[in-house]
């Protein structure tokens, strides 16, 4: 019995750690506070002026996990930074799709997105193999596909929609503003990074690093076992909203954030040179603390912000008290 309970404890930790790792990982809900502190320190910004890009708002009947829309302006050009959460309510992606139509150009993140119009079964598309190029592409796509499968499972468990299923990436104003697969692979080799290794590091950090709103692993596991998506989201939402100390690996330069930010801003410069006056950047919220600092250094100024609800989670109804259950007496 003791062995069984010990094994159940390990399984519980792994189950909860897997789910939290996926949702709190670099490509979903990043360590906003840590990155913001690093970016702000470099720019000489005080702690009181640091900004958040993900938050939790309490309503009367529901709890909301929200992402920001940061509005910026320079020389009469409007630029919006729209934060992304990779698994969310379908209504969230519907609202984003409607917003995207209002931009001259919408710059989007997606490693390998340059092949969006040629989506196939995930195999290599090269005709001839020079120096093992086909096998390299297969390996890289397999790694990305493996990470996507984790998101698919998390979305199913939490009754949410995948970002790449909810967003219309074939819209005419969409512009790929991320690394190509070859660029990403080259950068990783230069920095000796691994996508899966980075995700695993984030996952283990979220499993064992204490946080102010640490989810109760037993409550989370029981909710998983009974298929209660709302209960799982209630247990995790405040941790995701705070995003404190979840990614140790983002304290320095990385391909995942810094190199992709650099590519995005290069694409932005091209679109500005083409004369476009209203541009949106749709990227994971992890990218914006340092990206906004870079934009401000280039003369852009923040003019406002909005918040969009990515998750809407019904609050747990409190059980009625004996006094509330007592039937009202008819007036005599």
Q: DSSP states of 118-184 as a string? A: G--SSS---SS-STTHHHHHHHHHHHHHHHHHHHHHHHHHHT-EEHHHHS-TT-TTEEE-S--HHHH
Whether residue 82 lies inside any domain: the answer is: yes
pLDDT score recorded for residue 205: 53
- Token pair in block for residue 99: 């917003």
What's the maximum distance between 2 C-alpha atoms anywhere in the chain? 95
Rounded to whole angstroms, how far apart are CA atoms 97 and 78? 18
Among residues 148, 147, 131, the alpha carbon closest in space to that of 182 is found at 131
**Count of the separate structural domains present in the chain:** 1
Tell me the pLDDT tens digit for each residue of 54-110. 999 999 999 999 999 999 999 999 999 999 888 999 999 999 999 999 999 999 999
- Exposed (0-12), middle (13-18) or buried (19+): which is 95, by Cβ within 10 Å? middle
Q: What is the DSSP letter of 80?
A: E
pLDDT score recorded for residue 149: 76
Percent pLDDT > 70 in the chain is 60
Q: What is the DSSP letter of 318?
A: P
pLDDT score recorded for residue 126: 35
Whether residue 143 lies inside any domain: the answer is: yes
Average pLDDT, the chain: 74
On the question of pLDDT at 180 being above 80, the answer is yes
Rounded to whole angstroms, how far apart are CA atoms 207 and 115? 35
Three-class secondary structure of residue 302 per DSSP: strand
Whether residue 16 lies inside any domain: the answer is: no
- Token pair in block for residue 315: 């609050």
Q: Which domain holds residue 55?
A: 32-117+134-193+248-315
Whether residue 123 lies inside any domain: the answer is: no
The confidence band for 219, taking pLDDT boundaries of 50, 70 and 90, is: confident
Segment 221-244 shows an average pLDDT of 80
CA 85 and chain centroid, separation: 4
The confidence band for 25, taking pLDDT boundaries of 50, 70 and 90, is: very low
On the question of pLDDT at 190 being above 80, the answer is yes
pTM above 0.95, yes or no: no
Whether residue 184 lies inside any domain: the answer is: yes
Percent pLDDT > 90 in the chain is 39
pLDDT score recorded for residue 46: 45
Whether residue 84 lies inside any domain: the answer is: yes
Task: Lowest mean pLDDT of 23-32, 61-70, 133-142, name the range.
Answer: 23-32
Whether residue 273 lies inside any domain: the answer is: yes
On the question of pLDDT at 178 being above 90, the answer is yes
Tell me the pLDDT tens digit for each residue of 266-290. 999 999 999 999 999 999 988 999 9
Strand 105-108 with 174-176, pairing: parallel
Rounded to whole angstroms, how far apart are CA atoms 44 and 38? 10
Three-class secondary structure of residue 238 per DSSP: helix
Segment 153-176 shows an average pLDDT of 91
What count of Cα atoms within 13 Å lies in the side-chain half-sphere of residue 203? 17
Whether residue 275 lies inside any domain: the answer is: yes
């Amino acid at each position: 019995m003791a062995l069984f309970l010990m094994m159940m404890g390990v399984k519980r930790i792994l189950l909860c750690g897997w789910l939290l790792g996926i949702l709190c990982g670099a490509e979903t809900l990043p360590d906003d506070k840590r990155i913001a502190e690093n970016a702000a320190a470099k720019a000489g910004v005080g702690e009181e002026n640091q900004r958040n890009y993900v938050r939790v708002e309490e309503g009367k009947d529901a709890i909301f996990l929200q992402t920001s829309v940061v509005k910026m302006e320079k020389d009469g050009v409007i630029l919006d930074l729209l934060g992304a959460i990779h698994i969310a309510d379908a209504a969230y992606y519907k609202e984003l799709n409607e917003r995207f139509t209002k931009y001259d150009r919408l710059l989007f993140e997606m490693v390998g997105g340059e092949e969006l119009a040629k989506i196939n079964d995930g195999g290599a598309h090269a005709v001839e193999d020079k120096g093992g190029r086909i096998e390299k592409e297969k390996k890289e796509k397999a790694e990305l596909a493996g990470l996507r499968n984790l998101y698919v499972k998390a979305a199913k468990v939490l009754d949410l929609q995948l970002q790449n299923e909810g967003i219309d990436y074939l819209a005419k104003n969409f512009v790929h503003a991320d690394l190509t697969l070859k660029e990403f692979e080259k950068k990783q080799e230069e920095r000796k990074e691994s996508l899966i290794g980075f995700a695993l590091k984030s996952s283990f950090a979220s499993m064992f690093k204490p946080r102010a709103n640490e989810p109760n692993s037993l409550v989370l596991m029981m909710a998983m076992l009974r298929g209660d998506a709302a209960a799982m989201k209630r247990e995790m939402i405040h941790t995701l909203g705070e995003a404190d100390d979840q990614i140790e690996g983002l304290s320095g330069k990385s391909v995942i954030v810094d190199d992709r930010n650099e590519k995005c801003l290069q694409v932005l410069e091209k679109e500005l040179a083409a004369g476009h006056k209203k541009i949106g950047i749709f990227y994971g919220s992890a990218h914006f603390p340092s990206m906004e600092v870079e934009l401000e250094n280039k003369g852009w100024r923040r003019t406002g912000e909005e918040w969009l609800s990515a998750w809407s989670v019904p609050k747990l109804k409190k059980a009625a008290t004996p006094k509330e259950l007592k039937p009202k007496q008819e007036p005599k």
